[in-house]
Structure 1
Amino acid sequence: MIAEARLRKITHDPQGFNERERKLIAGSKSQIDRWKSAVDFAFRRQYSIPMHLELQDSSVDSVVISRYGIIVEMLDGDLKPIIEGRNKIAHGQWVWELNNLETQFKGRAADPMNYLAISRRGEIIDNLAEIVHVLIVSEPAFQREFDRLYGKISSTRCVIDGNDYPQFEAKIRNSGQQGIRSTMKGKKR
């Protein structure tokens, strides 16, 4: 849901797309296709690439084309699984996963995520949305911010599954114990 809301916010930024572009983006079949359309339109706008040319066939710098590819890979590799996972839960696939038509079981659904796994998916959405938003509104800002935001996404990918949750939980418990001990010391006086 966060990804869908962020995309709507991005596409309706007054400094970004015009009404025609917004309608074209909204008309895309799936949410991930809407994200890809937004990225495609933004690159075309910022780098003056006509619609009849493929981005790779344009005279745009290879670094720019590479960044386009990286963003599309992040949409497919990072955002799409988050969106699909959320959709499966929203359609009641808690124990058994269904095919896209919801006519047959594919197998057991994934185990529920812990707080860190959910939170880190949100971080990826936020950073990816920021990359796309900056691209839409300002090419110089995109050039300046891309590496920083891509680095944040890359480092979050390494811990996205939340396997370090037991350490996180212990840290919270210890910090709570510290607070209780300080309160107790204050009461003894």
Structure 2
Amino acid sequence: MTIISSPHFPESSELRVMDERTVLDMWNQVLVEAFSVRYAVPRSKVPSSLPYTSAAYFAGMKSVLDDWMEPLINTRNSLAHGQWIVAFNEQRNSVNQDRTKRLNALTLWHLRLQKNMLKHLERLIFDLTATQHAFERDFDRHWANLKAAQSRISADKSNEWELLLQRRHLRGRGHMRRNYRQLIDAGLI
């Protein structure tokens, strides 16, 4: 919504995005609209009429939407509808095994990395729509950060991260006890 309500995103494009049925369709439409405006190509000709490098940018960003956004949106929808343990299909008349498996594997670590990944994608789309030179100039940096987040998600080191948080918590409690003891010994409390 931030991207499409920007003054740099044409109002007619915003209306077409808002007419889409699903959130994933909206993201896809934003991508088409942004490339169409940036490279002055009719929407129906994106990506086929884009210059080679621009078409490669489009294909990469589209792959993120196809491979990462759909499962993320579906997981979010399951959680929003109270399906915290078992996820149902769209009609809510049977269990969706794939979504249930994703829900059970989901951790705070995954959510933080997915948020990070989406911030990089959002930045790419913002640069595409709102800047004159930053998109091409910064694409490789944003893309590398996005791919790094994807790699960390795929590597799934959430257990190690949870252990690190537990150790930090215990260490912090030890510091608090020590500081409290020092205040008592100094007669300050």
Distance 1:54 1:68 in 2: 9
Q: TM-score, normalised by structure 1?
A: 0.83
Distance 1:90 1:20 in 2: 31
Deviation at 1:51, TM superposition (A): 3.0
Distance 2:104 2:43 in 1: 43
Distance 1:175 1:129 in 2: 37
Distance 2:144 2:44 in 1: 33
CA contact (8 A) 1:78 1:124 kept: no
Given the superposition, is the C-alpha separation of residues 149 and 49 from structure 1 closer, same or farther in structure 2, using an over 3 Å criterion?
same
Aligned partner of 2:112 in structure 1 is 119
Distance 2:119 2:151 in 1: 16
Distance 1:97 1:115 in 2: 18
| Moved beyond 3 Å, runs of 4+ | none
Identity %: 21
Q: CA deviation digits over 1:76-105, x for unaligned, max 9? A: 112222111110111222222211222222
Given the superposition, is the C-alpha separation of residues 51 and 153 from structure 1 closer, same or farther in structure 2, using an over 3 Å criterion?
closer
Distance 2:149 2:43 in 1: 34
- Segments of structure 2 that go 5 or more residues without pairing to the other structure are none
Worse-matched range after superposition: 26-35 or 99-108: 99-108
CA contact (8 A) 2:36 2:46 kept: no
Distance 1:159 1:171 in 2: 21
- Correspondence 1:19-58 to 2 at 5 A: 19-56=11-48, 58=49
Distance 2:174 2:5 in 1: 47
Pair 1:62 & 2:76 matched: no
- Correspondence 1:51-90 to 2 at 5 A: 51-56=43-48, 58=49, 60-90=50-80
- Which residue, 117, 128, 144 being the options, matches 1:151? 144
Relative CO higher for 1 or 2, CA cutoff 8 Å, sep ≥ 6? 1
Distance 1:96 1:72 in 2: 29
CA contact (8 A) 2:32 2:43 kept: no
Pair 1:92 & 2:92 matched: no
The one-letter code matched in structure 2 to 1:149 is H
RMSD of aligned alpha carbons: 2.2
Distance 2:60 2:54 in 1: 10
Worse-matched range after superposition: 127-136 or 169-178: 169-178
Pair 1:164 & 2:160 matched: yes
Secondary structure at the aligned position of 2:41 is classed as coil
Q: CA deviation digits over 1:102-148, x for unaligned, max 9? A: 22223382326332222112111211111111111124111112111
Number of residue pairs the alignment of both structures matches: 179
Aligned partner of 1:130 in structure 2 is 123
Q: Which has the larger radius of gyration?
A: 2
Secondary structure at the aligned position of 2:96 is classed as strand
Distance 1:126 1:53 in 2: 27
